Chains A and B, each alone.
Chain A
Amino acid sequence: MSLVFTLASRNLFQDRLRFVATLIGIVFSVVLVMVQMGLYFGFGRMVTTMIDHAPADLWIVAKGAKSFEDLSLLDMQTRDKVLTINGVAGVTPVVIGFADWRLPEGSMTPVFVVGSDLKDDGLKPWHLVAGSLQALTPPGAVAVDRTYFDRLGVSGVGSTAEIRGHQVKVAAVTDGIRSFTTTPYVFTNLDYAGAYIGLPANKVSHFLVRLKPGADLDHVRQEIQSAVSGVQVLTPDQFKQKSRNYWLFGTGAGMALFAGALLGVIVGTVIVAQTLYSSTKDHLYEFATLRAIGCSNRYIYTVIILQALLNAVIGFLLAAIIGFAVVEFTARSALPIVISNDLMFGLFGLTVVMCIASALVAITRVVRTDPVMVMSR
């Protein structure tokens, strides 16, 4: 094995304090980027959670609607029009809206009501941990998530409260259906949801369209779009993308997360560059000696880049451990941090690039080193 690795690693570990400082810089930087990007992906996943769980081949939403939470309304009669289009197997209305939930002790908290056909192919609550979908059929039956029990003043199936003066009873409990707006979701039957949010009888928020087997999705989509005015007909992927764009970029939240990540990259690069540069400066006579004994530039660059890579690998491993701890810690929070394998690979690549870019400063210093300096000392 070449002595390049031995030289690089021993140079690196020789000054433990500086090595630790470098690692802290890398870990800080990578964890910061990891958290920011994890939040970005977590947020991106949360804003599409309803679309992800809806059994729809196509969505019909109001023209100009930017996300699932958009409160624009559609006429119920649209459903009949769409059902006449060849290839459409079913059309299920969904109503959404904010309402006030009155706790048993009298205080109020806002909730986000999601009403759909719970018997058929509507947007049903998932991850049920208590009660059942059948239990949501009677008037006043609702499903809530157990993470919001305290907010809603309920303790499980059978608990009661009021929405807009209507008595409601918890008939099913879900686990992990959390809203990025922090307003709890309340699932209920379409027949009663309108009353809870004060919706006119012939109005709905969105339609879920299911196609017949073998139907051409693009063709049906165009047919619906031509037949119905004032609506957008979107595939689930299109609707998810639209929602993500709106919440992440329309609101500036995504840019803020990216800016935080960029800051992490800059801080990390500066710290690694500074420590590598100072380490190289400390070993300048050694690099000059290498040059004097006829070392090629490539050999010297390899020593410095290997030092940078060692920093990157060790720093990334430590950051990954912390990252996984953060993921675990936030798993049940309002905004879980999502770190996918792709993100991990990307971050490792970013760490390597960051450390190698930092090494360029040190390399520039060594390139200017004159081997004759070893003769004068």
Chain B
Amino acid sequence: MNEPIVEARNVSKTLGTGAAKVKALKHIDLSLEGGKLTVLMGPSGSGKTTLLSVLGCMLAPSEGTVRICGSSTDGASRERLAKIRRDHIGFVFQSFHLFPTLTAAENIRLALDVRGERGARARTRAREVLTRVGLPHKIKAFPRDLSGGEQQRVAIGRAIVAEPSVILADEPTAALDGENGQAVMGILSAIAKEQNRAVLVVTHDTRLIGFADRILRIEDGALQPEEPNRSNVYQIRSSA
């Protein structure tokens, strides 16, 4: 069995203060292993994005511990958390969050640049990743010249270029049509399997369940008992 890349133990998170105080996560226990695409589903306000933020070291848990590739985030400073994100995590956001003044290749290269990886090697790597996400002809295109689907592929390229151990994707298909959504999920699924990454996708979209190796449901901040993914079970049975 693979060692977990992301581990959350008894994680709770309280947001707000005073009367506005809300317990967004309640005693979450979760492990993510390499080679699997996990889908996290739940209604609006159930705590999906909060959980993703805590696992992504952007929010500190109020209780419990989070370990990324063996490193605990307990008491870590903002800079230390940034280093953990830089070294181990790739993010894909709902609104892409590409830099409008940078080209597609530069947007991807940015993830290497912040790690101090520059020069010809970084440029070559960015080109390879653009090819990997199916946009080899868009190297010099700016985000304004790309469709939503293309922008999200560039965002995925930025998330994977530095070869992080875990990819966290927040509603990556929400701003896309069905065809582009399927394509993006296809890429994420392939990344999980081919490169042995842990991929966690937060989504509302039940059409994407077919890509999941594992489905997690969250309601009122608590993870529900896990069910096997029927479509995946079907795939496994078929291949057997």
Residues of A within 8 A of B (CB): 1-4, 6-7, 10-11, 14, 285-286, 289-297, 299, 370-372, 374-377
Contact = CB atoms under 8 A, between A and B. Distances in A.
Interface residues of B, number: 35
B82 A6 contact: no
Q: Max chain B CB contacts within 10 Å: which of A290, A294, A299?
A: A294
A375 B171 CA distance: 9
B93 A3 contact: no
Given A6-B106, A292-B91, A375-B93, A286 B99 contact: yes
Given A1-B118, A297-B79, A292 B111 contact: no
Interface stretch (B51-59, B128-136, B190-198): B51-59
A285 B59 CA distance: 17
B58 A295 contact: no
A2 B114 CA distance: 9
A2 B52 contact: no
B67 interface: no
A282 B89 CA distance: 26
B72 interface: no
A206 to B, nearest CB: 67
Contacts of A375: 49, 52-53, 58, 93, 170
A166 B11 CA distance: 105
Contacts of A3: 102, 106, 109-110, 113, 118
A289 B170 CA distance: 13
B86 interface: yes
Given A2-B113, A299-B114, A375-B52, A293 B91 contact: yes
B114 A295 contact: yes
B91 A6 contact: no
Contact of B97 (A7, A14, A285, A296): A285
Contacts of A7: 99, 101-102, 110
Interface of B: 49, 52-53, 56, 58-59, 78-79, 82-87, 89-91, 93-95, 97, 99-102, 106, 109-111, 113-115, 118, 158, 170
A134 B15 CA distance: 95
> Which 9 A-B pairs rank lowest in CB-CB distance, beginning with the nearest?
A294-B86, A10-B101, A294-B85, A289-B97, A3-B113, A372-B58, A295-B114, A371-B58, A372-B53
A10 B110 CA distance: 14
B114 A292 contact: no
A376 B115 CA distance: 25
22 contacts: A2-B113, A2-B118, A6-B102, A10-B101, A11-B101, A286-B97, A286-B99, A292-B91, A292-B93, A292-B97, A293-B90, A293-B158, A294-B83, A294-B89, A294-B115, A295-B86, A297-B79, A297-B82, A299-B114, A374-B93, A375-B49, A375-B93
Nearest to B98: A289
B136 to A, nearest CB: 20
A299 B85 CA distance: 15
Contact of B114 (A6, A285, A286, A296): A296
B49 A376 contact: yes
A295 to B, nearest CB: 5
